[in-house]
Amino acid sequence: MQSVGFINLPAWQAELQKILTRLGREDLLRIPVLGRENVENPWVAFESGDFFSAVETGIHFAGNGNLKRVPETVITTDAELAINRLLNGDYQKTFFSAAVGGIFAFLRTVTADYVVGSPDKLLVQNDSVAGYILSRMETAGKTLEESVHESQWEGIATGNPSQNLHGIVTRNRLILQIASVFGLIIRPEQVKTLGISTLSDEDVTVARELGCSIRLLGLAQVDSEQVRAIVEPCMIPSVYLLAQARAGSEIIYLLTRSGNSHVYSGPGSSYETQVRAILSDLEPCNAQRPKISIHAGSVEDFSDSFYLRFTLVNMNDTLAQILQLFNRAGVEIDKIHQPARQVSRETPEAARQNLVLITGKTRRNIVETILTQISEQIKLASVQSCFRFLRRD
């Protein structure tokens, strides 16, 4: 193994010491630490010159650390740093198991020759914070704000969870999971990303009526030269394993080109899972790694059904106008559902009623164009929400 040092230490360095000791890796308590930051015994901080002359592989934790200069090989928990290095072509010297979440162990299995077969499609719930929040909204009837506060109180969400709520964590991990499984790195701005920051508990209630759950998912598929990838809250049948994952855990569904499916659920991204992932990356640092190519083409959307919720005045006439716009765009309506609680809590106007449409398969940009037309042309209709609706077929 190459000589190893810490580029930085996390704010939880006392807990890091306990985990390393418990896992029998006390040797890592004596390796160099870059810089003058306060380090707890037995760690010792090295000046920059001494550090880089002694260290070939640097361990980096997200959130802090001077990255103007790093060792040739980097093991990181920071998804953004890993993505940037892969886009610079440094795939042989970048190890990022600790940046992909608690399902890193399954990804190592997938990339092994002959184990699962050629991958075709990924569906992932890879952010345990978002998963916990959505699960609490569903099972405990809490609002989004209440669920976020509970996740912070329970220590599931540490610090500001804005990147979790806006889908950034899910997107960055999905990009690294695509790199691991398909050997392609795509640019973050190419992935259409929607979060759960505006999710209404009204939609969680309607989802329950439809026998569904709402989960923040990443979807990816690579077919020859075509790449599809999106991140957004999706309405899925509650019988799906993706919907049944325990609150605070992470889950990945992999479909192979031969039609076989593999599902793996693991713990969320705790301190210990990060440390275990780092230790797993320390072992093969000298081994030749599979090539990760930079994807130069576009990233496409998926064709799916969509869940749309409106509040309407003058139900029959207004619905007829809405259906006419969908018909003109060539989008079929597979289901019309009037929620049990017909008067929306989101408006003081008692005359407004909730109505849900489930479309046939189409693209999100087509649906968004129709919704814009509805907002501009039908004054008695108000668009409340739009989710991808993943069917059982």
| Domains contained in the chain, CATH given | 4-99 (no CATH), 104-267+291-300 (3.30.360.10), 305-389 (3.30.70.260)
Convert the pLDDT of each residue in 372-388 to its tens digit.
999 999 999 999 999 99
Residue 302 has pLDDT above 80, yes or no: yes
Rounded to two decimals, what is the model's pTM?
0.93
Rounded to whole angstroms, how far apart are CA atoms 163 and 143? Answer: 19
Structure tokens at 44: 């010792």
Structure tokens at 58: 């640097």
Convert the pLDDT of each residue in 79-119 to its tens digit.
999 999 999 999 999 999 999 998 998 888 887 765 778 89
Q: At a CB cut-off of 8 Å and minimum separation 6, what does 328 contact? A: none
Strands (E), 269-364: 293-294, 299-300, 305-312, 333-337, 353-359
Band (pLDDT 50/70/90 cuts) for residue 344 is very low
